[in-house]
Amino acid sequence: MEQALSEAAKAGDRGEVPVGAVVTDASGTVLAACGNDMQARSDPTAHAEMLALRAAAQRLGGKFLPGCTLTVTLEPCPLCAAAMSLFRIERLIFGAYDPKSGGVEHGPRVFDHATCHHRPEVVGGVAERDSAALLAKFFKSRRNSANSAGR
């Protein structure tokens, strides 16, 4: 989770929503580490999870990630949860819960549907305070900047 938090902080420094994701193999080797990059790429699907999953699969030379763990600082959205199922991630570890946009423990709960072909093990709330603090700081600075500009 430390590396995911580091990726999230770097994303925040670039003006991206501070979310970071890391894919590790069964031995714990890091296959990919990414932060959100939607603004720079002008791509609404350039979530940290999507980028990390794609990079890990490319590194392994296949389309599936069996035995791999995705660690991410925020509960994945429905898009990312569906992608995890398609990549066949073995385990998902996430930090902060996302009652508004989450797709695992909140919202559509993607892995709970009968149509979900692969369900990873899910562990939520890991380093939740640190993950939530990064997000809160980012959005507070955005609100302060918007308020200052409006004066």
- Mean pLDDT score of the chain, rounded to an integer? 96
Q: Is 90 a catalytic residue?
A: no
The mean pLDDT value for 102-118 works out to 96
| pLDDT surpasses 60 at 150 | no
Of 7, 16, 49, 105, which one is the catalytic site residue? 49
| pLDDT surpasses 80 at 73 | yes
Lowest-confidence region among 56-70, 71-85, 88-102, 130-144: 130-144
| Cα angle: 28, vertex 31, 33; to 5 degrees | 105
The mean pLDDT value for 79-103 works out to 98
| pLDDT surpasses 60 at 35 | yes
Q: Which pLDDT does position 144 carry in this prediction?
A: 84
Q: Which pLDDT does position 66 carry in this prediction?
A: 96
3-state helix, strand, coil in the chain (%, to 5): 40, 15, 40
| pLDDT surpasses 80 at 151 | no
